[in-house]
Amino acid sequence: MTRSQPAGDGTGETQGAGVTPEHGEQKAPVSKRVPNSRIAIIDIPAPCDFINSNQRLHRMAQAKLTKTWRQASATAAHGLKPFTQRVHITAHIHKPRGGRWDPNNLWPTIKAAVDGLVDAGLLTDDDYKHVVGPDMRQGGKGEARIIIEITEEP
């Protein structure tokens, strides 16, 4: 599921942003927005295992996971209008298990997903001049997936 829309009613709150609950996932949090800034929400169901920075995978095994996440992200973003301004990215990570876990350990997964957004042409580049973040957040218990929220910076 992908969605792209301008924000708000002038109050700074995004209207209708977030993810409609499907497959048991929770709605992605909606934070304060600049009025009329563009927002895109990209839902990427897990095509394979998450890549965890604490894993000690063989480089070829990690490369295969990275390629799979990158392609899944590019496919999810296909057809969306490209962002021309600097953006802020927040990644909401949903896992099928409860308990404590550190969202920041999944940065290799998020990096692969953001690279897929560049591959799809949604982002010009993922360097510091074009992207703030990505910030990783625990998205809740549910089907394994990443929900990426992209917001234009003022």
Residue at 25 is within a domain: no
Residue at 105 is within a domain: yes
Give the closest residue to 121 by CA, choosing from 84, 152, 69, 86. Answer: 84
Pair 55, 118: CB distance under 8 Å: no
The pLDDT value recorded for residue 32 is 53
Range of the domain at 55: 44-146
What is the distance between the alpha carbons of residues 52 and 151, in angstroms, rounded to a whole number?
26
What is the distance between the alpha carbons of residues 110 and 47, in angstroms, rounded to a whole number?
13
Per-residue pLDDT reduced to its tens digit, 118-127: 999 999 999 9
Per-residue pLDDT reduced to its tens digit, 82-97: 999 999 999 999 999 8
Residue at 9 is within a domain: no
Instruction: Report how many domains make up the chain.
Output: 1
Residue at 28 is within a domain: no
Compute the C-alpha angle 127/125/110, nearest 5°: 75
At residue 36 the predicted structure's pLDDT band, cuts being 50, 70 and 90, is: confident
**Has residue 19 got a pLDDT over 90?**
no
Higher-confidence position of 30 and 39 = 39
Residue at 21 is within a domain: no
Pair 117, 42: CB distance under 8 Å: yes
What is the distance between the alpha carbons of residues 154 and 142, in angstroms, rounded to a whole number?
33
Residue at 121 is within a domain: yes
The pLDDT value recorded for residue 84 is 92
The pLDDT value recorded for residue 98 is 84
Long-range contacts of 97-101 (CB under 8 A, 24+ apart): 97/141, 98/141, 101/138
Residue at 31 is within a domain: no
| Entry pTM | 0.78
Residue at 50 is within a domain: yes
